[in-house]
Amino acid sequence: MWILKILFFLGLSLFLTFSSEESITPSYHNPAEILEKIHHGKNPGKGVYDVFCAVCHDPDPVIAVGAPLRGVEKDWVLRCRQRNLKAMLIAIDGGMNNMPPRGGCFECTDEDLIAAIKYMIEKKPSSRK
């Protein structure tokens, strides 16, 4: 009978090994796939922001590297006075001090980034169009 028990546990551990490997697969970093989902979501700006930008731009950022924070008006007043959305996009395209090029999202289209910036600022830069 003990041989059956051993076979059972062997089978169980094999099953667990393979099933856990499978559950790891979908969590591989696949920005194109993530963006595809975001594009079909309700608020693409928020989607892009949450996945690619929040780590530095959240009001309570995981990485505090001096990024202007989402919804914190004083962080944005001067930037919005100096640059409109298009100029900000050009500014972030090549990276900006501690920010990697395109905010680290190379698969993001210009529209994705603009939507994320709008969500971050929470209102349109006022002075210039």
Q: Toward ligand HEC, which CB reaches closer, 38 or 53? A: 53
Shortest Å, Cβ 24 to ligand HEC = 24
**CB under 8 Å to 91, separation ≥6 — which residues?**
83
**CB under 8 Å to 31, separation ≥6 — which residues?**
52, 105, 106, 107, 108
Footprint of ligand HEC (CB under 6 A): 48, 52-53, 55-57, 63, 65-68, 79, 83, 88, 91-92, 96-100, 103-105, 108, 113, 116-117
**What is the rounded distance in angstroms from the CA atom of residue 95 to the CA atom of residue 81?**
20
Q: Toward ligand HEC, which CB reaches closer, 11 or 100? A: 100
